[in-house]
Amino acid sequence: MWKQPYLVVVTVLLVVAVAGMIVLQDTDSGHAQQGEDTIARSELDGLPENILLTVSYSQGDGLVLYNWRQATFTPVTYVPGHDSNHGTWSPDGEQIAFQTNRDGDWEIYLHTIAEGEDFNLTQRPASSDMYPNWSPAGEVVHFSNRSGEEAIWLTDPADASAAPLTTQDGCVPDYHPNFAQDGTAMAYRADCAGSGDIWHLDLERNERTNLTADSPATDRYPAWSPDGTQILFVSNRDGNEEIYLMDADGSNSRNLSNHPAEDNQGSWSPDGRFIVFTSDRDGQTDLWIMEANGDRPTRLATTTDEITAFNWPWWEPMPEEEPTMSGQGNADVEYVSARLQSDGTWTFSVTVRHPDTGWEDYADGWDVVLPDGTVLKPDPDSPFTRLLLHPHENEQPFTRSQGGIEIPDGVSQVTVRAHDLVDGWGGQTVTVDLTQSAGEHFEVVR
């Protein structure tokens, strides 16, 4: 439980609720006004409804939650005459870190969702602390010049203890930190050769690599994909600000937004299917959404008389869930043992319970599924990761193993599900956190 060590700042906020602002379509047959091939609102079902936004008012920036389903704005924090911006969610969705100059200098504040209160985390009036983000462990990572170097620091919200993560080595400054979800690496912007580049810091080896050295343009705002295999960033290499995507090693860079307007500040939906970003392609800086491959750009919200611009969209994280029952199937995954083999592949041993009644109804397979929905199959022709060839009515629960499972680098969790011959999917699933050695329903052996 995070303690409240600092002075509470109470602000009076104006509630903004704008009906009918949403451009995203209600049905798959509808079309938004900016084009025929757009994203339907129903395609976002299952995702959290709130997107954290920086909004610009006449007297400064503030933070709001935009509910994409209801097309309403709920204020988070705003102090007229000052800026509060660049908000990011904690991994558990219970806090928001943001930067503000309300004390006369730039500090990192935390906002607690339950209490609705703001706290000064950094309290360094002689320095600037900016561009906050979070580590998977719940620490705040941010820019600071407190040591005389413009570097990336890590601050523990529990006691405000802080330590540097980067040193400049001739690069001025280090900005925009973003952690991979497995906590082993960080992407950030550094200016080392007269322009901004996206750098990769291996936190286990303390080794850094310039991922965008092949371009003299300014690159910034990196954002790891939920599965850790790709990084979004913003670049002006084509003459204007665009949303780019590259593989996590810096290869395969491509322009996703590809529009003459200024497209900026992209971030991911929690499931990795969509990207939200800001764009002035309609004459004002609105909130947009597109598929992860850049297809079907759709305006999600537009500015108002009170709100003149949107910046830094950040989707609310998915709540952590225990294994649940859903759908019609009743093949339950009770336990998973995941073992890393010497050749880099994994062997999964999965314990399944199902009331097999013989050949007419039994559990006929189980899958290992990536966060983006990809099913990992050693045999691409198999209907499942592990095909179960006969009933197990006299062996309940039963455990079966499958080797040769290749999990892509950077993936920090997978979900295991079982299939019912009659009713399909829908039983209890188990999410395996590959960064941990064990959980209530799984073990990971490396």
For residue 395, the domain's CATH number is 2.60.40
Provide the pLDDT for residue 168. 65
**Residue-level pLDDT, tens digit, the chain, 446 residues:** 343 433 334 333 444 444 334 444 433 322 233 445 899 888 998 899 999 999 999 999 999 999 999 999 999 999 999 999 999 999 999 999 999 999 999 999 999 999 999 999 999 998 999 999 999 989 999 999 988 888 899 999 999 999 998 876 667 778 899 999 889 999 999 988 777 899 999 998 999 999 999 888 999 999 999 999 999 999 999 999 999 999 999 999 999 999 999 999 999 999 999 999 999 998 999 999 999 999 999 999 999 999 999 999 999 998 765 444 445 678 999 999 999 999 999 999 999 999 988 888 899 999 999 988 899 999 988 999 999 988 888 899 999 999 999 999 989 999 999 999 888 887 899 999 999 999 999 999 99
Answer whether residue 2 is part of any domain: no
Answer whether residue 272 is part of any domain: yes
Whether residues 359 and 291 share a domain: the answer is no
Range of the domain at 185: 8-315
Whether residues 216 and 352 share a domain: the answer is no
Whether residues 306 and 240 share a domain: the answer is yes
Whether residues 248 and 341 share a domain: the answer is no
Q: Which of 126, 170, 178, 117 is nearest to 152 (CA)?
A: 178
Whether residues 308 and 344 share a domain: the answer is no
The answer to whether 271 and 371 have CB atoms below 8 angstroms apart is yes
Answer whether residue 347 is part of any domain: yes
Domain count along the chain: 2
Q: How far is CA 160 from CA 109, 123, 163, 217, 444, in A?
A: 11, 9, 10, 36, 32
DSSP string, 69-134: TTTEEEEEE--TTS-EEEEEE-TTSSEEEEEE-TTSS-EEEEEETTTTEEEESS--TTS-EEEEEE
Q: What are phi and psi of 391, to 5 degrees?
A: -70, 160
Answer whether residue 325 is part of any domain: no
Whether residues 17 and 125 share a domain: the answer is yes
Q: What are phi and psi of 42, to 5 degrees?
A: -60, -25
pTM summary value: 0.69
Whether residues 344 and 286 share a domain: the answer is no
Provide the pLDDT for residue 209. 93
Answer whether residue 31 is part of any domain: yes
Provide the pLDDT for residue 6. 37
Answer whether residue 365 is part of any domain: yes
Provide the pLDDT for residue 290. 97
Whether residues 143 and 24 share a domain: the answer is yes
Answer whether residue 161 is part of any domain: yes
The last residue of a domain, from among 248, 283, 315: 315
Whether residues 271 and 177 share a domain: the answer is yes
Distance CA 164, CA 227 (A): 26
Whether residues 79 and 210 share a domain: the answer is yes
Q: What value, to the nearest 5°, has the Cα angle with vertex 196 and ends 82 and 187? A: 85
Distance CA 17, CA 67 (A): 10
- The residue type of 171 is C
Whether residues 368 and 311 share a domain: the answer is no
Q: Which residues lie closer than 8 Å to 342 by C-beta, 6 or more apart? A: none
The last residue of a domain, from among 315, 344, 366: 315
Answer whether residue 178 is part of any domain: yes
Whether residues 254 and 338 share a domain: the answer is no
The last residue of a domain, from among 315, 341, 376: 315
- The answer to whether the peptide bond before residue 5 is cis (omega within 30 degrees of 0) is no
Structure tokens, 286: 């609105």
Q: What value, to the nearest 5°, has the Cα angle with vertex 295 and ends 373 and 380? A: 30
For residue 100, the domain's CATH number is 2.120.10.30
Structure tokens, 308: 């003149």
